[in-house]
Amino acid sequence: MEVLSLAAWGLGELALVCLLYRGWQQRLLRRYPYFYCYIMCVTGSQVVRAVLRVGFPTLFQPGWWLLEFVTAVSGFGVTWEIYAHMMGPYRGARRMASSVMQLLLLLLLLKATLVGMSNVHDLIPTTLELERNLRVVQALLLVVMLALILHYRLPIGRNIRLMLFGYGIYLGAQVASLDVLVRLGKSFYRGWSVLSGVEYCLTLLIWCAGMWSLFPNPQPDFVLESDYQRISQQTVRAFDRVRNHLIQSWRA
């Protein structure tokens, strides 16, 4: 267990360095800013954990779980990067996706603040549950994106395809393992740390393959945007009918 965990950690750190180097070398940092902000956040969290382990051992455990939550929140950057590139040509659908994602993130952060204030002495179980909720929401958003890609046959380049594939695997595995960890508690900590390291390493290796060079998305058609406009117009007309009905009822 210890050897596997150490090997996964070492390979993951090497993959992180490789991702950042190729991103800088191939000028991908500006092309995919939200994705690389997440990568930098993960890298920074690893550095902070190492400092806490060596210099501040009493703060290591709470610092670990706090950083887990922060990186889970920053993972929305990867989800939005995928949405932004897939929805880029469809302005209306992109605005709607942005609004929905911002609302979900705001609600999750509000819940995290309220729960954290009420359970300040029970940090680890609280953080675990909140992190699981964040991962679940991101996984559902990726499922919706995948459904749109398949339904509308949206063209997808190698960069975004492997970004989606790698993060989808990671989120699915994390949701499952975090759910078991929430249920079993401390007895599963060691197993979870190994599984988490393997999931993390596998995702980074997939991303290294996908982000080695720039592969932009092919030009799409606009069926999705026309469907969005049609649904939007139908929604507006429905609200107008409801409003007129209420006005007439009030006057009567």
pLDDT mean over 18-24: 92
Letter for the amino acid at 173? Answer: A
Domain match, 227 and 177 both? no
For the segment 115-156, what is each residue's pLDDT rounded down to a tens digit?
666 655 555 666 777 888 888 889 999 998 888 888 777 788
Q: What angle do CA 140, 8, 35 make, to 5 degrees?
A: 45
Domain match, 160 and 233 both? no
Domain match, 52 and 86 both? yes
pLDDT computed for residue 196 by the predictor:
78
Q: Report which of residues 232 and 13 the model is more confident about.
A: 13
Domain match, 147 and 234 both? no
pLDDT grade, residue 237 (50/70/90)?
low
pLDDT computed for residue 211 by the predictor:
93
Nearest by Cα to 130 from 112, 107, 113: 112
168 and 139 Cβ atoms separated by less than 8 Å: yes
Domain match, 188 and 238 both? no
For the segment 162-204, what is each residue's pLDDT rounded down to a tens digit?
999 999 999 988 888 877 777 776 666 677 777 777 888 889 9
Domain match, 208 and 228 both? no
Please give the model's pTM, rounded to 2 decimal places. Answer: 0.81
Domain match, 213 and 234 both? no
State what percent of residues in the chain have pLDDT above 90: 22
User: How far apart are the C-alpha atoms of 71 and 170, rounded to whole Å?
Assistant: 13
Residue 19 has pLDDT above 60, yes or no: yes
Residue 74 has pLDDT above 80, yes or no: yes
The pair of structure tokens assigned to 242 is: 């409801």
pLDDT grade, residue 102 (50/70/90)?
confident
The pair of structure tokens assigned to 125 is: 């179980």
Name every residue whose Cβ is closer than 8 Å to that of residue 43 and which is 6 or more positions away in sequence: 16, 20
Domain match, 92 and 121 both? yes
- CATH number (domain holding residue 15): 1.20.1070
Instruction: For the beta carbon of residue 15, count every other beta carbon within 10 angstroms.
Output: 20
Residue 62 has pLDDT above 70, yes or no: yes
Nearest by Cα to 167 from 188, 145, 183, 149: 145
Domain match, 216 and 226 both? no
Domain match, 175 and 229 both? no
Domain match, 129 and 245 both? no
The pair of structure tokens assigned to 83 is: 């949405």
What range defines the domain where residue 145 resides? Answer: 2-220
* Window from 26-30, 81-85, 98-102, 150-154 with minimum mean pLDDT: 150-154
Residue 4 has pLDDT above 70, yes or no: no
- DSSP notation for 35-104: HHHHHHHHHHHHHHHHHHHHH-HHHHHHHHHHHHHHHHHHTHHHHHHHHHHHHTT-HHHHHHHHHHHHHH
Letter for the amino acid at 36? Answer: Y
Domain match, 8 and 99 both? yes
Residue 223 has pLDDT above 60, yes or no: no
pLDDT mean over 76-82: 92
User: How far apart are the C-alpha atoms of 155 and 87, rounded to whole Å?
Assistant: 11
Number of domains in the chain: 2
pLDDT computed for residue 235 by the predictor:
46
